[in-house]
Structure 1
């Protein structure tokens, strides 16, 4: 069994939170094409991360943790606001004069959300579920990550059922756009 297979869902998601934090750190210290690439990486990571949480983690938390309904509803509201802010940043582009200030505000909101998620939802999941259940959830999260949209879709549903219906077509569309963008970037000077 590999280290990835042994990870539980909380470890997988906290690792992603740390990746997000690192991307913000790099974004704040770079410019030009590298900044654009890092921002695209951040957009992809946040989009797939939130979708996986909505499909796998939040439904379990609703049912299994004390106060789960309220905890999840609050996280979903924060995630909806984040999707809208991320879509706005994406539309502005890294070269826009307002991008830096809006990115800073977005980073603060994402950090607060991640911290609350880790302390209010993830810690309670770890306490309420067995190690085996948490590892199985990690597998489900990895499957959801592989099929999730790679861009924020603010109008998309904030539920597991809604994501399962809307997610795959959006993911295909997003991944085609990503591939075209990457190809055009590679062949820009040809």
Structure 2
């Protein structure tokens, strides 16, 4: 099966496993006081943030409007609220250095928020989507999510619009600016 044939649930679940893999590495590095370990934790935190922001933007632009329309408005709104909480945490984390005490507290909070959101999404929203959408609709949504992720921002922007048309207009522009800034600072790249 090619990447473009994966349905939206497969795409999003793959994202969830990638983030969890990075969380596990972050937890394994916790308490190691070397400069190298602290730098790796900061790099991993930046990478987690990039992945979570891209994932969230794609869900908010493509998945949640479809869920709101065909599955449950309350489930879509609850998921967006969880995204907003995590985005505010990522914004606070972005300004912290790994040797600051608040870094650990914010990172732990982010992991908790994301893990709770993933558990709810995978146990509630995804099964509901499987029962309501056709396989073709799920594959089409998967293609839209992957396309949106390519243009999505890579940094948290808690005050940015998260609904059409604002997200679809500003998202790609913000994404371009974020990727340019990341390229200059080498953020999100292996060092």
TM-score scaled by length of structure 1: 0.90
- Please give the per-residue CA displacement for 1:108-129, whole angstroms capped at 9, x wherever unaligned: 1110011111222121111111
2:24 maps to what in 1? 25
Deviating 4+ runs (over 3 angstroms):
none
For structure 1, list consecutive stretches of 5 or more residues without a partner in the other structure: none
Query: How far apart are residue 102 of structure 1 and its match?
Result: 2.0
Deviations 1:131-189 (A, max 9, x none): 11111111100100000000110101121322112101111110011100119x999xx
Aligned to 1:76: 80
Q: 1:128: which partner in 2?
A: 132
Residue 59 (structure 1) shift: 0.5
Q: Which moved more, 1:150-159 or 1:26-35?
A: 26-35
Question: Please, which of 31, 41, 58 is the counterpart of residue 64 of structure 2?
Answer: 58
Contact kept in structure 2, 1:80 and 1:158, CA below 8 Å: no
Q: Which residue of 2 aligns with 1:182?
A: 186
Shift of 1:95: 2.5
C-alpha offsets along residues 33-70 of structure 1, whole Å, 9 cap, x if unaligned? Answer: 221221111010000000000010001001111xx111
User: Which is worse superposed, 92-101 or 130-139?
Assistant: 92-101
> What RMSD over aligned residues (CA atoms) do the two structures have, in Å?
1.8
Q: How many residues are treated as equivalent by the alignment?
A: 183
- TM-score, structure 2 normalization: 0.90
* Other-structure match for 1:39: 45
Contact 1:54 1:160 in 2 (8 A): no
- Residue pair 2:51, 2:154 contacting (<8 A) in 1 also: yes
State the Cα distance separating 1:6 from its structure 2 match: 2.3
Structure 2 residues without counterparts, runs of 5 or longer: 30-36
SS in 1 for 2:95: helix
Q: Using the alignment, how far apart are the partners of 1:111 and 1:161 within structure 2?
A: 29
Moved more, 23-32 or 43-52: 23-32
